Structures are given as structure tokens and as C-alpha cells.
Chain A
Amino acid sequence: MNPRAVWAVAKAQFREFWRTPEAVFWTYGFPLVMTVVLGFAFGPKPPDPVPIAVVVADPAAADSDPLVAVLRHDARLSVEVLDAAAADRALVRGRVGLLVHGSVAEPVVRADPTRPEAQLAGLVVARALRDARDGPGVAIAQEVEDRPGSRYIDFLVPGLIGLNLLGAGMWGFGFNLVQMRTQNLLRRLSVTPLTRGEFLLGYLMGRFVLVIPEAIVIALFGVLLWGVPFRGSWLAFLLVVAVGGFAFAGLGCLLASRARTTEGVAGLMNLCQLPMWMLGGVFFANENLRGPMRWAAEALPLTHINRALRDVMLEPGSVLDIAVPLAGLGLFAALCFGLGLRLFRWQ
């Protein structure tokens, strides 16, 4: 091994990095900002209570139910009291990780053990029930939730479709556009009669035809392989995918409207993607978040896309049921494209 050669390669790499200001910022500046923001969000404070639901025949009479009283008494739990149908729905939408029914003496918990928050909820419920009795712990009967539609996989697949729309918008639209700019291809196109509007519209169309089939493939995969239910309207599903894909394509184009380096646009894309990965309701429900985190989650387009996808896949949602989020997403897309078109630079 030639140490001079190794050293020379190392030096060249370091210089290359150091002389790309975008790379330096996104490597040092951005993680620092993230650390501060996340530090405030998840910093030292008591843990959020664990959301569970108690299933009763008549929620109006819940106050006299000793099981409800025991669980409500425990500050580590956030207890909803629901009838069977509403409880199933809460579990489907990931709003609660675990259902409890039965009585204080003979409690039964119901959950899908593959759901990340189910384990924790189970432990906290067991502690609460034990603490309520001074004697030995009570035996808790476990029911495994494995009905299609109520499992974690059913929750996950719509989220993954949403995540895919996000990725397609960022990489397919944003990143690729900047690559064309760095290769001088945009500059070459700019000296022809082609207008910015014509270019962006054509660019969008050419890339967009790939987005919808991709979402359909994932949905079919989930339905055929894992038995994920599809209870709503396919038309509504296609509309969510189209409008959602359009929203992220718009965001991608906006981020790429001026970036001159792929490092620069990749940084901007990370800035937008990270909060959506974390708070967009892909892997866990964001309805349980509290305070500023909840507001942030509600502000993310991915939250509304995922919610609408679950409305039409896990529940019998129709076009009408998702009209409001669709309108909002359409508006968001239009804003992104409008701004992107204004800011767009050929070079």
C-alpha cells in the first residue's frame, strides 16, 4: 500500500467537499438546526401518555365502569371510551395502539403485536391494573388482532403509498431538473423559442405518467399479498394519488427552480422530507401528537394524503368524503407550481 496515494485521494476528496458550500451547509448547518429543533420538541419533559381505548357496550355509562376508572386513574395512559365499532375504527387508524375490554378482575387486551406502540401500551396497561390491586397481579387475557384492516400492515401500506408519492416528487421532479441544469441542457433549451411554461408542463407530463401506475402497483401488492382491504372507491383512490402526486411534484419543482448544484437541491429536499417521514403519519399515527408537533403534523401535505388514502382503503370512503383534503392539496400544488414557475431559472 502506497500511503502517499491514500493521502492524496483523501486530500482531493476533502477539498472537493469543502469547496462545495452547499455540501458544507447541509452537512454541518442543517443537522445542527435539526438537533436544536428536535431537542426542543423531544427535550426533557414527562413522556406523553400512551393512547388506548376501553371498549364498552355503552360509552355514556362509562363513568360507572370500574375498569375505566382504574385505567383513567393512571397518568401514563390516555384513555378513550368507545363502543366496539368506534374502537375498531380507532385501532384501524392507529389512533390507539391497544383495546381493553372485560373487567378489572378479568381484563382482556386486544392488539396487533407487530404494531410498534402496542407492546408499550400493553405493558403500561398491565402495570396500571396491577397497581390498582394491592395483591398479586391479575392475569390479562391477550387477543391478537389479525382481522384484515385492523393490522399494522393495513395501516402501513397506505402510508407507504404516500411516502412513494413524496419520493417521486422529490427525486423524479426536483433532483432530475437540477441535473439537467448542471449539464447545461436547460440553458441550451432556453435559447430556443421554448417558454418556461411549455417546458415545465411538458416535463411534468413526461414524468407524471410514472407516478400513478407506481401507486397502483403498491396498492395491488398490499391487497393481493397481505390481504389489505380496499373498502372505498377506486376512483377516489386514483384522485388522491393524482392530486397528491401533483402536490409533491409541485414541491419538487419549486425546490429545484433555482438550485445550481445537486448537493443544494438534495439538501432542500431533505429539509422537506425529514419532517414528513417523521410526522406525516407513515409509520405511526400522528393524531396522538400534542402541541406544536401536532400543528406541524397537520401542516404537512403528506399527513392529509395518508389520511385520505386510509379513508378510501381501510374505510368505505368516497370521493365526497375526501373532497376537502383534495381541494387543499390541489391548492398547495397550484401554489408550488405558480411560485416555481416564477422563480424558475434556466441556468
Chain B
Amino acid sequence: MSGAAASPAIELRGLRKTYRKGRQTVTAVDGLDLRVERGEVFGLLGPNGAGKTTTVEICEGITAPDGGQVQILGRQWRTGVDTEIRSAIGVCLQETKFHDKQTVRETLELFAALFARGRSVDEVLGLVSLQEKAGARQKDLSGGQRQRLAVATALLGAPELLFLDEPTTGLDPQSRRQLWEVVREFQRGGGTVLLTTHYMEEAHQLCDRVAVVDQGKVIALGSPDELIRSLGAAHFVECDVDDFAGKLGEQELRALPGVQACTFAPTRAELTVASVHTTVPALLELLDARAVALRDLATRHATLEDVFVSLTGRHLREGA
């Protein structure tokens, strides 16, 4: 078992999975490689349909891959150790409806009984701050409480590795923060987490490392800060004007100090810059000199969203 203990929490090599949808074959995972170290919170970030859930379900042993290697805590599914793996992982699926008429405590007692050893129901209730709702039935819980209950069922077996598939989708900001705290607490206790999300902020706040997934492949990998730094610029300057036409061209904006990229429209420009304080004075001076009337000026930090846009030319969430 020393070999298993030294192995990474998750190792995926050349993972492939295709589905038949009517007459079409859809490739959900297309040669995906991934290594999640023990003790880290690892995020799979990508748009809907990128293959995140399929990848996680392969890791959880729910779905068998068509090709590639899967190692979970140094073990492989379907080699006679499935129960061992299941005893060591905790799973929170994207959508689970527990028994409507059972209380939080009863639901947790059911799941606690499935594991040979693990945490007590009361301990887990404390971890997810649901002590006051212990006697409430599932149907009387809010969305955030239900989601914390789902995470609580995953914590009962005292897992080494926790899978969270879009744990905060549809939750209000406060519920989201509460869940983040649960995840951090789990990590402080030495646990490893693989989570999927399409919220950039969540990935940035929570994850030690992030894999950006698109069309079944990992297209970028690193800590959130590394990924953002890889853009070469950490800031954006957005300016709205009455009209650039005949007064100022895209080339002149690109030539301003510190500008690395520029998207240009007749009444709007977005500059990617290394430092705001060198570019903005020069920009204002240039606009003034050409008599372009400035309507709005805003600066912001680059986000993982920008990383995704720069890699794919698309936004993470449609309409975002």
C-alpha cells in the first residue's frame, strides 16, 4: 500500500469517451490528461458541454471510459478494488434528490451506514453548519441547504478524495461562500478535492490549480494566478467614446506605452495592459489631443474568463 499512498490522488492519461446521441456520435472526452496531487483543491473549469462531468463521472467509477488510463488513489476501477476506492472517495453529484420525507439527520444516517468507518452524523452536521436543520425534511430545505446536505453525505465516509460536480450552481452568493468554507475546511484536514465549475470566481477563490477544459481536452493548466499571468497582462482598460471615426485609429492605441493587445470598435476600445498607471495617462492625453469625447473609462483585473476567451475566442458562459 506504500505505492498507493505515494501515488497522486488522480491520474488520467489519454482519457476518451464517446456517446451515441440518436444517430450522431458525440465525443465528450477527447484524449484528456490530468494529474491531481494529494492535498490540493483542483478545479475543472470550462463551459457547459466541455466534458467536465463526463470526466468526473469516469473518475467516480460511474462511467467506463472508451480508452485511456484512470488511477484513483493509486488504484484502478474494475480490477476488483471498486469497494476499496468507493470507501475512500466522497461524491457530490450534479443533481441528486434525496428522499423527500426524510429529515437531514435520517438521510445522513442512511449514508453513514454505507461506510464501514467514517465521521459521525453530528460531526458532519457541524462541518456543513446544518445542526439547526437536522430535524427538517428534505423538501423544506433551501437550495443552499440541500447542496450542503449533498456535500455532507459525501463527507460521511471520511474520504481522502472529494468530488464536487458544480457544487454551487444556482446558489445565492452567501450559500456559495458557505460551501467554499466547507471545501477549505476539508482541505485543511488533508483532503483532496476535484471540483467542476463554470464560475471563474469560484475557481479563483477555491482552487490551488485549475485545468481549463474545452471540447474534451485540457487546453490550459496551472494555478489561477499563473494562468492569468500567462496572458502577459494582468489588466484591462475599457473606454467608451462618442466616436473614434476620423480622429483616432487602432494602430495609435496599440502604440501607447504598455499596451499588449487591443480590441477596437467605432465607439469602444479595450486595451490589454501590463500596468494601468502608465497606460491610462497616455490614453487620456491622446484622446484629449484628438478631441475624442470620453464617455466612460473603466479598468479591471484579468480573470480566468479572459484566459478562456484568449484561448478559445469564446466566453465560458454563453451570453456572458
Contacts and interface: CB of A to CB of B under 8 A. Distances in A.
Interface in B80-117: 83, 86-87, 89, 91, 93, 95-99, 111, 114-116
Contacts of B114: 189, 192-194
Interface residues of A, number: 14
A183 B139 CA distance: 14
Given A187-B62, A347-B62, A192 B97 contact: no
Contacts of A184: 93, 95-97
A193 B93 contact: no
Nearest to A198: B114
B61 interface: yes
The main secondary structure of chain A at its interface with chain B is: loop
Interface string B115-142: 1100000000000000000000000000
Contact of A192 (B86, B95, B96, B98): B86
A120 interface: no
A64 interface: no
A185 interface: yes
Interface string B210-234: 0000000000000000000000000
Nearest to B88: A193
B303 interface: no
A9 to B, nearest CB: 26
Contacts of B86: 191-193
A183 B89 CA distance: 22
A24 to B, nearest CB: 16
Contacts of B96: 183-185, 187-188
B40 interface: no
Contact of A188 (B61, B87, B115, B153): B153
A185 B102 CA distance: 13
B115 A191 contact: no
A35 interface: no
A188 B93 contact: yes
A190 interface: yes
Contacts of B91: 188, 191-192
B157 interface: yes
A191 B116 contact: no
Interface string A197-212: 0000000000000000
A195 interface: yes
Nearest to B87: A193
Contacts of A183: 96-97
B83 A193 contact: yes
B166 interface: no
A185 B98 contact: yes
Nearest to A195: B83
Nearest to A179: B97
A52 B10 CA distance: 77
A347 B93 CA distance: 13
Contacts of B153: 188
B305 interface: no
A194 B153 CA distance: 14
Contacts of A190: 62
A188 B95 CA distance: 9
Contacts of B116: 193
B114 to A, nearest CB: 4
B62 A185 contact: no
Contacts of B99: 185
B164 to A, nearest CB: 13
A189 B111 CA distance: 8
A347 B60 CA distance: 14
Interface string B48-64: 00000000000011100
Interface in A156-200: 183-185, 187-195
Interface of A: 183-185, 187-195, 346-347
Given A192-B91, A194-B114, 10 more contacts: A184-B93, A184-B96, A185-B97, A187-B93, A191-B61, A191-B89, A191-B91, A192-B111, A192-B115, A192-B157
Q: Which 9 pairs, one residue from A and one from B, show the smallest C-beta to C-beta distance?
A: A183-B97, A191-B91, A192-B114, A188-B96, A184-B96, A193-B86, A194-B114, A193-B83, A193-B87
9 contacts: A184-B97, A185-B98, A187-B93, A191-B60, A191-B89, A191-B91, A191-B93, A192-B86, A193-B87
